[in-house]
Chains A and B, each alone.
Chain A
Amino acid sequence: MDTYVPILALGLIAAAFAIFSVVIGSLTGPKRYNRAKLDSYECGIEPTPQPVGGGRFPVKYYLTAMLFIVFDIEIVFLYPWAVAFDALGWFGLAEMVLFVLTVLVAYAYVWRRGGLDWD
């Protein structure tokens, strides 16, 4: 745990700086109330009414997020394998090729079904 003391130190410095900036920024600046200024910025037109919580996002984003998880998990498995590669030898290589090919099958399916197309 001691290894993380320096990171903690840096984090404290960074946090102190960031919080200081945010606080000082709200104190030093002028405050001139103007209702239009506090509206959502939409290049001068009347702001679009916002549903509570930002509304629903296009499903594409969720799909991207899910695919990201799939590949991120793949990476999670790849890293320890890569670090220990020399010790694992042919066995490690064969197992990883099998695993990667399986993921690539899913990837090919998603690609062919247009899951990677935007619009």
Chain B
Amino acid sequence: MPQFPDAVSNQNMTNWFLGSFDTHIPWWFILVVIKAVAAFAILVVLTLFNIWYERRVVSFMQMRIGPNRVGPQGLLQSLADGVKLALKEDIVPTNADKPVFWIAPLLSAIPAFLAIAVIPWGPAVSIFGHWTTLQLVDLPVGVLYVLAISSIGIYGIVLAGWSSGSTYPLLGALRSSAQMISYEVAMGLSFAGVFLYAGTMSPSGIVNAQQHGWYFYMLPLSAIIYIIAMVGETNRAPFDLPEAEGELVGGFHTEYSSLKFALFFLAEYINLVTVSALAVTMFFGGWRAPVPISLWSGANSGWYPMLWFMIKLLIFVFVFIWLRGTLPRLRYDQFMAFGWKVLIPVSVLWLLVVALFRQLRNAGDLDRAHAVPIGIGIAAVFLLLVVALEVRERNQIRRTPPPTVPDYEPLAGGFPVPPMPGQSAPAVPRRPQFARTAAAPAPALNGTTAEEASTR
């Protein structure tokens, strides 16, 4: 039991459950209920907000306006969409495995809510005169708990794809699970560095340990790896392969409709919040105020920290949206190769370097004057390694001879066919009168390659 000042014995709690309503309801329990409801409400509202946020930001990036009709600035658009979804037919395909098809969205959504429980939103505050931390529960293994809970969500996805009894969802689910477990490894490895510095796995402990410096600049590579991995983990662009419309229609939830579909959507956006909150907690000081504000002594007490936390969180959500608005989707093999061949070895080696550094510091063999040049040296070696690998890759690409393409046959197999990649159609000699009307580019026509000509 968290040591709240008003903690009462279990006896009282049991009595309360047995219906002795005249018994005093313990304050810690009321606080727990308040905080649980608040966490739930924050997640739901954040989801509605984030969907709107995403649509608006992407719209502005694409020179559109986005939803602006329902409510002020279109803020209630997502709510309206939710109501609309509830009024749509709930289709259960004939081929579906009915019970599993029903359970899958639940299995996806419920763990998504649970993961947020250990994230500290702020330090202790007073609620109705009772001190409590702005954190639902402070587990000593909190981060492990988040990892564990978020992997349960994968079951929801796999079972959704499998139970649909359809090809696209199955493929989407397989991809999704393969992707999530691949990036979970890198994610887990990037956390190890933080634990090493903080000496604890409790999120609040990690936030406290960042009092004298946030980990994103003390452990830059860990932070970068985590940020990449979290995008992969949430199936967001540019890693949104499970939902590659061009290949898989909607991915694992192709066969879902109505509120079941909405639950998957909800889970995805909650996961977005969870991983962002985790990023803030692990690497960006949690609820601690950023540098200029932190000079003000009151910045890290009271309700203000929740504000800082929220701002940081929304910045992260913005980054997600920014990525989606900017980057094209990766090819699946590139994506897997990046996860397994770059992220994992780099994070393992980085962890060893961090550990070595830390041990040298602990043993007193390393002071600040030496640490900086050594750090720069290690960074340089890493950079060189990356460059060397890249150069090798390019050389390999250059050395592979271009595939030999047979000459273009306009009527291969008896049908008129277009030129394949690498082939080019012969330039069609134009009739004189057309050549004259297209007078301006006429000199260029001779100079253009056959390929360009064929594309006209």
Contacts and interface: CB of A to CB of B under 8 A. Distances in A.
Interface of A: 2-7, 9-11, 13-15, 17-19, 21-22, 24-26, 28-32, 35, 37-43, 47-48, 50, 54, 57, 61, 64-65, 67-68, 71-72, 75, 78-79, 82-86, 89-90, 93, 96-97, 100, 103-104, 107, 111, 116-119
B182 interface: yes
Nearest to B202: A83
Given A85-B358, A96-B355, A54 B170 contact: yes
Interface of B: 1-2, 10, 29, 32-33, 35-37, 39-40, 44, 85-95, 102, 105-106, 109-110, 112-114, 116-117, 136-137, 139, 144, 162, 164-168, 170, 174, 177-178, 181-182, 184-185, 188-189, 191-193, 195-196, 199-201, 249, 254-255, 258-260, 262-263, 332-333, 336-337, 340-341, 344-345, 348, 351-352, 355-356, 358-359, 362-363
A14 B167 contact: no
Given A9-B36, A75-B192, A116 B117 contact: no
The 7 closest A-B pairs by CB, nearest first: A25-B259, A14-B113, A40-B166, A2-B1, A118-B333, A82-B195, A9-B36
B154 to A, nearest CB: 11
Contacts of A9: 32-33, 36
Contacts of B191: 79
Nearest to B359: A93
A6 B362 contact: no
Given A14-B114, A75-B192, A100-B352, 12 more contacts: A3-B1, A10-B113, A19-B106, A22-B106, A29-B258, A38-B91, A38-B93, A38-B94, A40-B93, A83-B195, A93-B356, A116-B340
A37 B93 CA distance: 8
A2 B1 CA distance: 5
A85 B199 CA distance: 7
B260 A25 contact: yes
A63 B121 CA distance: 39
B189 A75 contact: yes
A50 B437 CA distance: 58
B259 to A, nearest CB: 3
B114 A7 contact: yes
A10 B93 contact: no
A29 B40 contact: no
A101 B195 CA distance: 20
B137 A64 contact: no
Contacts of A15: 106, 110
Contact of A10 (B40, B174, B362): B40
Contacts of B351: 78, 100
B337 A7 contact: no
A73 B117 CA distance: 25
Given A29-B89, A29-B90, A89-B363, A57 B174 contact: yes
A117 B334 CA distance: 9
Contact of B185 (A18, A19, A43, A68): A68
Contacts of B105: 18, 22
Given A100-B352, A111-B341, A41 B106 contact: no
B86 A14 contact: no
A50 B165 contact: yes
Contacts of A118: 332-333, 336-337
B114 A11 contact: yes
B87 A29 contact: yes
Contacts of A111: 340-341
Nearest to A84: B199
Contacts of B249: 41, 43
B189 A78 contact: yes
Given A14-B114, A38-B91, A93-B355, A61 B36 contact: no
A65 to B, nearest CB: 7
A18 B110 contact: yes
